[in-house]
Structure 1
Amino acid sequence: MGRAEERRARQRGGRRAAPPTRSSGTPSEGIATGGRAAARKAAARGKKGAKNGKSGIRRLFTWKKMLGTFFALCLLGIGAFVVMYLMIDIPKGNAAAQEQSNIYKYSDGSVMAREGDTNREIVDLSEVPKPVQRTFVAAENKTFYTDAGIDLKGTARGLLNTLSGKGKQGGSTITQQYVKNYYLDQDQTVTRKLKELVISLKVDREKSKDYILAGYINTSYYGRGAYGIQAAAQDYYRVDASKLSVAQGAYLAALLQAPSQYDWAVATPTGKKLVQARWNYVLNNMVKQGWLNQSERAKMTFPVPKEPKADPGLEGQKGYFIKLAKQQLEKQLMAKENITQDEAEARVENSGWTFTLNIDKKKQAQLEKAVKDQLTKQLDPKKRKVDRNVQAGAASVDPKTGKIVALYGGTDYTKHFYSNANRTDYQPASTFKPVILAAALENNSQTQGGKTIGANTVYDGTSKRQVVDSNGDKVGFAPENEDDHDYGKQVTVQTAMNQSINSVFAQMGVDVGMDKVLETATKLGMDTGKLKPLPAYTLGTMGASPIQMAGVYATLDNHGKQVTPTIIKSAEQGGTEFQMPDPIGEQVISREAADTVTSVLTGVVNDGTAQQSVQQNPTRDGRKVAGKTGTSDDNKSAWFTGYTPDLVTSVGLFGEDYKTKAQAKMYGVGGEPRVNGGGFPAEIWAEYTFGVAGKNTKFDLDTDQGAAVQPTWTPSPSATPSSTPSSTPTTQKPSQTPSQTPTTTPPTTPQNTPTTSPPISVPPTTPQNSTTPPANPFDPTGDQ
């Protein structure tokens, strides 16, 4: 067949034959080979079509394109940085220009005080000893003398933290910190951080290292309102910067990490450990850098700073108000803007804030007068040295609004810097007992005998009685009642609260579960985060402040809705008001539980440890009162926290050695054998409260338990609280005056004197003023 005929045959067949291959063989073999090749190509095209989507993704994200994109972004970033570097100049220092006075007003709008002149004195670096200069380098930036002024890793980490909302994480060089302090501000924004980077590079190029270090130590904030090393040296050690020792310089350098937390005068035990660790870190770095001899380092001891000196114009109680207002605002700035404490302080100090406080002039004056009349006038330091060792603190709160309407921080802010109203280093003692009862009621807890705990539940009031767990095993805790007094085995919870019987509440705490007790305490406003659920805390052996305890009792008074005491009515800066959180929070315990505790606490006033000072006070004028006394171990603190329907006030007396500031015993103060909560604290409370409280004389209580809604009565001597009745008669401290329903045995002995009268108890169901004799509440199956 000729080529033409072959071509025509292919056309007639509707397809074109493959051309012969160049391989050897016959034409037919070439045709076959070409067909197979065509088939393979067709199959390949089919597979390619099936995988077209996947191949498209691969073509889009090839390693070449990804690498190219990365380099393009790097070039873009470098280009942007170059542009920024060219456009941003070193600005004029603005730190001094931004300083403005803070203004503080009473609740009625009248000006209380102005706080403004910055405590700063610039000193030349030559006036600071070289070893002291190096303490700051060792603390903050060991490569300061050799670096280019920036830390790229630290800055990148800071940018990422800012973008992710984690706040400041450190990593800045001394140069960057100086630029932030002097040329910029404390805002945590990406723009500010980029400016900081550029300006730091330029400052490092144009200024000497000594110039930068001098600027850093002269502009940094050291706490106590002190800016710069000279002011800090005076405030902490009463010396000029030129006279600082290396050990003292290391403390000031350590302070810069957290000025308030590390200030020895106000630091918590944890804060003191942290600053000592930081101090050691600074000195050890100096040894590593060859700036300090190891033998000299070994001889150094921690240089405890002097007590703070108050600023002029903050005498009396004003300094305590202002300090608390700044602390509360700083706390909210830290929470809302995710900044550190030192950054929050820098935002508040001398920054043009106008504070209007909740302090009521009339109530404040009455509180100060009550402390003077009931305590200060009773003290005679010349006659009794122990009278020098007494500090008073108080906080008064409106339970409906959470406003701190009056506050007593100490004799004078210029003489006693530490606020006694806000200190948490003393035990609240038995004022914690209502929290245990609240936890029992809220959790519907039961005794060892399976009885639900309430005002009428029976406990064993024997002193030093061993507390047992749910298995009946001793837990190794047997607290002594006051004066080691036995109240017998037939004591109701109401009577136990009235007489503050330790053995009853120690067992109750274990019955409820100390984890639940601490959980309830936290809900009510106490700081219990680091406490372990130990039975010993039933005696109130943790730390608490009058402000905290006022908040706890205000929450009870407010029917279980949380009250967080606040001194700030409003805080404005530049015409913009900072929104403070609502002091009234959510329902943290049920109304019935809160109201039952209030009802029980009225018995403490009418028939218990506060009877003489409060119930019998001639100015009471029929007002209903609930409250609790407290006296700590070794008589180092004494409390009365009480409330009417419209005002809650916590008063604490604290034994503090007037020289060493260590905790001291108050035996003999004011000529009294012992300072009890029912003494000076309750007397201060009564004069203040009855002088300013409204005429609302009735608690609105949703409960059928407690002394406020049930009469007291004397149980039959044969009543037994357990299946194994006691063979000894019950002894009990009686009240000084008849209760709402007089007992059959009128009391004749003074308060705190043990007698053999049977316990005053409360039946569970008999209404007040009922003429029907109440049923015996003591069940023979009994409870522990």
Structure 2
Amino acid sequence: MGRAEERRARQRGGHRAAPQRRRSEPAAAGRPAKGLIRRMFTWKKILGTVFTVCLLGILGFVGLYLYVDIPEGNAAAQRQSNIYKFSDGTILARDGEVNREIVDLSKVPRKVQLTFVAAENKSFYHDAGVDFRGTARALLNTVSGKGKQGGSTITQQYVKNFYLNQDQTVTRKLKELVIALKVDRETSKDDILAGYINTSYYGRNAYGIQAAAQAYFRVDAQDLTVEQGAYLAALLQAPSQYDWAVATPTGKRLVTERWNYVLDNMVEEGWLPKAQRAGLHFPEIKEPKGAPGLEGQKGYLVELANRQLEQHLMAQQGLTQSQAESAVIENGWTITLNIDRKKQAALEKAVKTELTGRLDEKRRKVDADVQAGAVSVDPATGRIVALYGGEDYYKHYYSNATRTDYQPASTFKPVILAAALERNATTQDGKPITADTVYDGTSRRQVLDHGSRVGFAPPNEDDRDYGKITVQNAMNASVNSVFAQMGVDVGMREVMGTAGRLGMDTKGMQAVPAQTLGSMGASPLEMAGIYATFDNHGYKVTPTILKSAENKGRSVDVPKAVGGSVISRTAADTVTSVLTGVVDDGTAQESVAGNPLRDGQQVAGKTGTSDCNRSAWFTGYTPDLVTSVGLFGEADKAGGTGCEGEPIKKGAHVSLKGAMGGGRVNGGGPPAKIWAAYTFGVTDKAAFDLNTTQGAAVEPTETPTWTPTETETPSQTPTSAPPTSETPSRTPSRTPSQTPPSQTPSETPSQTPSSEPPTTPATEGPLDPESGLGEPGQR
């Protein structure tokens, strides 16, 4: 025995072996018997269970395959009219003509055919008609309620369009799977592709490739180019969102990416030469045309009702946008709107009386560029009771009531004040921001962030200096320099956060001082919702046009339009109180306060006029009705140059100046007049129930809320100082909430750099001087 072996032997001998447990000794208390578990879960039993489950699944699928036959398909015949009703049940419109013309596949250029294959199903020509992995994923998501499904082949989508429906159920998906397998065996790939492109919905009320080619390019399907085909193929993923004429910047980006994806796939598959692909450009999309039977305002009302119903189906049933649109359009729905017939007629009459009836395109070219949009909401329920989308759905396809491409301008200022009040914000020297807080209203005053310039110095209307001015009077006169500084005092992130909670779509918006001028895009629908939330004491109002929607005996659950509190009642009521001053003593005084139909009705509201006078707004409310009216300059024809010297294209944003034979078109002009003519004819006299001690609707205090000192910064100056040049155009109808004292302070605070105007104008963002500089006019 070697030394190593001797050492190991000694080591073994130096330790006592653990005693072995007797067979009859029980296991330790609380510890499971391993033998029992091993006996229950043997490899044989596990494999047997898996095999049994698989065998049962296969037998079940075979049985389903034998049981389910290919049904008779006639998608066009199955289409039914949608019926749309006013809130009282009377018929508004029927939308029932299926815009489809079947074309033979031989009439569609080969490369255009391949764009659809490249977009949806690259393996189409050599698969069995089914994507088993995608279908399994869709089934699991449906069972677990995870929402939007995908992964279908062209064959499956054709089966769904032609033989089945858009329901997201396990039964429908299993039928789709079986029928797709049978169709793929019994039908040629060309026939399947032809059926797919002829039954799909492309938006603009167009079913099938022929109708789509006419709707988007004014050509027949046989004349489509590969660029145009790639657009139509990309469009199928989300027809309304990707329609270039009405798409948001996000929608345009997504459809462009999808268009590139289609063409790149064609190159990858060898269907398109790389050199040809490099020379292709995104096609020009033609303007849409209205569908028959939807003349006047009907089309705008139906369009919004369809859109909101689609959104509910997407949220509740997990449909994709394309599926939701196909499920709604001409599919036998009975849809009742919240639109009040009398209020709708009154709004249309007010627009005609105060605007369209005064336009004369032959005498004034600019009159052809004027577009109007309006939305009227009941703040207690969130119901849209009236809507104006444009002169005629046939003449102007997309709705001015819902478009978000124009600046809301100074109608955004109340949101800044709301953010300040909600957060109990202070000026940069720690003083509370209230309706009585005094700011420096010098035009082009540099905005400061704790002594540092932020590179923004907006002008006031007509470059007017107001000097020391209260927040109340600054709102009345719409003083840009005050609210630009207030936005920085509060914090622009907080301001934009408040805007989002109130109902503005702030995705992608930068939280920069220029936004204090309302330089983002917004619609009358959005602004009506924001002001309705103020009117409803801070409880979120999401305006809805849908009252009910029924289809084949089933009703869609329409969510409540009024939600929880998004800002405090005190903050909301204070904003309302302040906005009564805009009507009685400010920029809406002449058109609203002085209207003979007012009869003492309390009104709150705000005017707005964007840079270059491209848009003009008045959003106002009484205790029981909120209405936002917007006028938009949209070029009727190409030609000429814009405000910045750019060539004008058809549809471009242009100035409203000179419309109806006047000068600048301000929010206090036609928009406020339309608002007053409509509102005072349909509302009952009522008073605001306000929980606040601030603003023009509240009796003024006799003494200042605080005493100034000589060390105050420019964003907080003495409350006892009156505005230096704020003179109402007429005597106020009641005592203003902030009565200026007879004397100004004898000494200007030592730290007031804002009193020295900058030598250069602001460089950040578009300006909203309640319109252009150096010109008189209403605001």
Name the TM tier (shorter chain). 0.7 to 0.9
Deviation at 1:773, TM superposition (A): 10
Residue in structure 2 matching 1:473, options 440, 449, 452: 452
Deviation at 1:782, TM superposition (A): 9.6
Please tell me the residue identity of whatever aligns with 2:738: S
Residue 705 (structure 1) aligned with residue 694 (structure 2): yes
CA distance in 1, matches of 2:366, 2:702: 42
Cα displacement string for residues 343-395 of structure 1 (whole angstroms, at most 9, x for unaligned residues): 11112111211122222222222211211121123322222212211100001
Cα displacement string for residues 564-585 of structure 1 (whole angstroms, at most 9, x for unaligned residues): 2111222222343322111122
Partner of 2:365: 385
Residue in structure 2 matching 1:234, options 214, 225, 234: 214
Equivalent residues of 1:105, 1:112 under 8 A apart = yes
Equivalent residues of 2:627, 2:675 under 8 A apart = yes
RMSD: 2.8
CA distance in 1, matches of 2:525, 2:104: 44
1:47–1:723 Cα change, 3 Å: closer
Deviation at 1:673, TM superposition (A): 2.4
Residue 446 (structure 1) aligned with residue 421 (structure 2): no
Residue 671 (structure 1) aligned with residue 649 (structure 2): no
Please tell me the residue identity of whatever aligns with 1:301: H
Partner of 2:268: 288
Please give the residue correspondences for 1:192-271 in structure 2 after superposition, counting only pairs within 5 Å.
192-271=172-251
CA distance in 1, matches of 2:744, 2:24: 99
Partner of 2:571: 593
Deviation at 1:724, TM superposition (A): 7.7
Residue 647 (structure 1) aligned with residue 661 (structure 2): no
TM-score normalised per structure 1: 0.87
Question: Is 491-500 or 667-676 further displaced after alignment?
Answer: 667-676
Residue in structure 2 matching 1:486, options 465, 472, 492: 465
Deviation at 1:231, TM superposition (A): 1.0
Deviation at 1:712, TM superposition (A): 9.7
CA distance in 2, matches of 1:333, 1:408: 26
CA distance in 2, matches of 1:278, 1:114: 34
Cα displacement string for residues 435-461 of structure 1 (whole angstroms, at most 9, x for unaligned residues): 111111111111112111111011111
Residue in structure 2 matching 1:190, options 152, 167, 170: 170
SS in 1 for 2:124: coil
Deviation at 1:217, TM superposition (A): 0.7
SS in 1 for 2:177: helix
Deviation at 1:72, TM superposition (A): 2.2
Please tell me the residue identity of whatever aligns with 2:627: T
CA distance in 1, matches of 2:292, 2:168: 33
Deviation at 1:730, TM superposition (A): 5.6
CA distance in 1, matches of 2:488, 2:713: 22
Partner of 2:161: 181
Equivalent residues of 2:429, 2:713 under 8 A apart = no
Partner of 2:728: 735
Equivalent residues of 2:428, 2:713 under 8 A apart = no
CA distance in 2, matches of 1:500, 1:249: 50
Partner of 2:514: 536
Deviation at 1:248, TM superposition (A): 0.8
Deviation at 1:266, TM superposition (A): 1.2
Residue in structure 2 matching 1:546, options 516, 521, 524: 524
SS in 1 for 2:33: helix
Partner of 2:680: 690
TM-score normalised per structure 2: 0.87
Equivalent residues of 1:235, 1:308 under 8 A apart = yes
CA distance in 2, matches of 1:40, 1:459: 91
Equivalent residues of 1:455, 1:762 under 8 A apart = no
CA distance in 1, matches of 2:162, 2:735: 74
SS in 1 for 2:595: coil
CA distance in 2, matches of 1:712, 1:383: 53
CA distance in 2, matches of 1:647, 1:49: 77
Deviation at 1:586, TM superposition (A): 1.5
Partner of 1:348: 328
Please tell me the residue identity of whatever aligns with 2:398: Y
Cα displacement string for residues 720-759 of structure 1 (whole angstroms, at most 9, x for unaligned residues): 886489999963231112125569xxxxxxxxxxxxxxxx
Equivalent residues of 1:364, 1:407 under 8 A apart = yes
1:479–1:69 Cα change, 3 Å: same
SS in 2 for 1:46: coil
Residue 46 (structure 1) aligned with residue 31 (structure 2): no
Please tell me the residue identity of whatever aligns with 2:452: D
CA distance in 1, matches of 2:499, 2:439: 22
CA distance in 1, matches of 2:584, 2:508: 36
Please give the residue correspondences for 1:82-97 in structure 2 after superposition, counting only pairs within 5 Å.
82-97=62-77
Partner of 2:771: none
CA distance in 2, matches of 1:779, 1:189: 74
CA distance in 1, matches of 2:732, 2:28: 98
CA distance in 2, matches of 1:742, 1:100: 61
Partner of 2:7: none
Residue in structure 1 matching 2:738, options 740, 761, 769: 761
Higher relative contact order (CA 8 A, sep 6+): 2
Cα displacement string for residues 653-696 of structure 1 (whole angstroms, at most 9, x for unaligned residues): 01111131121122222223211111111111111112222122
Question: Is 167-176 or 421-430 further displaced after alignment?
Answer: 167-176
Equivalent residues of 1:458, 1:782 under 8 A apart = no
Partner of 1:460: 440
Deviation at 1:779, TM superposition (A): 12
Residue in structure 2 matching 1:304, options 276, 280, 284: 284
The structure with more radius of gyration: 1
Cα displacement string for residues 445-478 of structure 1 (whole angstroms, at most 9, x for unaligned residues): 1111211111101111111222222x33222222
CA distance in 2, matches of 1:74, 1:419: 55
CA distance in 2, matches of 1:648, 1:48: 77
CA distance in 2, matches of 1:398, 1:541: 27
Partner of 2:411: 431
CA distance in 2, matches of 1:724, 1:118: 67
Partner of 1:374: 354
Partner of 1:517: 495
Partner of 1:158: 138
Please tell me the residue identity of whatever aligns with 2:488: V
Question: Is 161-170 or 399-408 further displaced after alignment?
Answer: 161-170
Residue 502 (structure 1) aligned with residue 480 (structure 2): yes
SS in 1 for 2:117: helix
CA distance in 2, matches of 1:433, 1:762: 22
Equivalent residues of 1:168, 1:340 under 8 A apart = yes
Please tell me the residue identity of whatever aligns with 2:613: N
1:69–1:393 Cα change, 3 Å: same
